[in-house]
Amino acid sequence: MKIARLLLIAPFLLTASLRAQIEPRAALVEPAAWAALDAGQARTAAEGFRDALAADPKNPRLHLGAGLAASLERRDADARSEFERALDLDPKLAQARALLGQLQYRMGDRLLAVRTYETLVAMVPDDREARATLERWQREADLHDRMQQAVGSHFTVSFEGPAEAALAAEALEMLDRAYWRIGQLLGTYPSDPIGVVLYTGEQFRDITRAPSWAAGAYDGVIRLPMRGALDRREELDRVLSHEFTHALIRTLAARGVPAWLNEGLATALETGTLDWADKQTASHPPVPLRVLQSGFGRFSGAQAQLAYATSALAARRLLDEAGGFAVANLLRDLGEGIAFDAAFLHRIQRPFADFASNH
Ligand SMILES: [Zn+2]
Q: With contact defined as beta carbons under 8 Å apart, do 197 and 158 qualify?
A: yes
Q: What was the pLDDT predicted at 324?
A: 97
Q: What is the mean pLDDT of residues 222-242?
A: 82
Distance (Å) from CA 314 to ligand 1 centroid: 15
Distance (Å) from CA 94 to ligand 1 centroid: 33
| Domains in the chain: ranges and CATH | 16-144 (1.25.40.10), 148-251 (3.40.30.160), 253-359 (no CATH)
Distance (Å) from CA 269 to ligand 1 centroid: 11
Instruction: Count Cβ atoms within 10 A of the Cβ of residue 213 and give its class: 0-12 exposed, 13-18 middle, 19 or more buried.
Output: middle
pLDDT in tens, 117-140: 999 999 999 999 999 999 999 998
Residue 8, pLDDT > 80, answer: no
Distance (Å) from CA 218 to ligand 1 centroid: 7
Distance (Å) from CA 69 to ligand 1 centroid: 26
Residue 193, number of CB atoms within 10 A of its CB: 12
- 3-state DSSP assignment of residue 194: strand
Q: What was the pLDDT predicted at 22?
A: 54
Q: What is the percent of the chain where pLDDT is above 70?
A: 92
Distance (Å) from CA 267 to ligand 1 centroid: 7
Distance (Å) from CA 217 to ligand 1 centroid: 7
Distance (Å) from CA 294 to ligand 1 centroid: 12
Q: What are phi and psi of 159, to 5 degrees?
A: -150, 160
Q: What was the pLDDT predicted at 231?
A: 66
Residue 166, pLDDT > 50, answer: yes
Q: How does residue 6 score in pLDDT terms, banded at 50, 70 and 90?
A: very low
Distance (Å) from CA 280 to ligand 1 centroid: 18
Pick the range with the lowest mean pLDDT from 76-80, 100-104, 175-179, 196-200. 196-200
Distance (Å) from CA 297 to ligand 1 centroid: 10
Measured CA to CA, the distance from residue 334 to residue 348 in angstroms comes to 13
Q: How does residue 35 score in pLDDT terms, banded at 50, 70 and 90?
A: very high
Arithmetic mean of pLDDT over the chain: 88
Q: How does residue 236 score in pLDDT terms, banded at 50, 70 and 90?
A: confident
pLDDT in tens, 98-111: 999 999 998 888 88
HSE-up of residue 96 (Cα within 13 Å, Cβ side)? 24
Q: How does residue 44 score in pLDDT terms, banded at 50, 70 and 90?
A: very high
Distance (Å) from CA 85 to ligand 1 centroid: 35
Residue 5, pLDDT > 60, answer: no
pLDDT in tens, 310-344: 999 999 999 999 999 999 999 999 999 899 999 99
Distance (Å) from CA 125 to ligand 1 centroid: 36
Residue 21, pLDDT > 60, answer: no
Distance (Å) from CA 111 to ligand 1 centroid: 26
Q: What was the pLDDT predicted at 104?
A: 93
Nearest alpha carbon to residue 76 among 51, 113, 127, 111: 113
Distance (Å) from CA 266 to ligand 1 centroid: 6
Distance (Å) from CA 257 to ligand 1 centroid: 13
pLDDT in tens, 53-70: 999 999 999 999 999 999
Distance (Å) from CA 122 to ligand 1 centroid: 36
Measured CA to CA, the distance from residue 80 to residue 99 in angstroms comes to 9
Residue 10, pLDDT > 60, answer: no
Query: pLDDT: is 272 or 309 the higher one?
Result: 309
What one-character-per-residue DSSP string does 263-286 give? HHHHHHTSSS-SHHHHHHHHTSPP
Distance (Å) from CA 17 to ligand 1 centroid: 47
Q: What was the pLDDT predicted at 14?
A: 45
Distance (Å) from CA 220 to ligand 1 centroid: 13
Q: What was the pLDDT predicted at 26?
A: 74
Nearest alpha carbon to residue 102 among 137, 73, 139: 137
Q: With contact defined as beta carbons under 8 Å apart, do 130 and 117 qualify?
A: yes
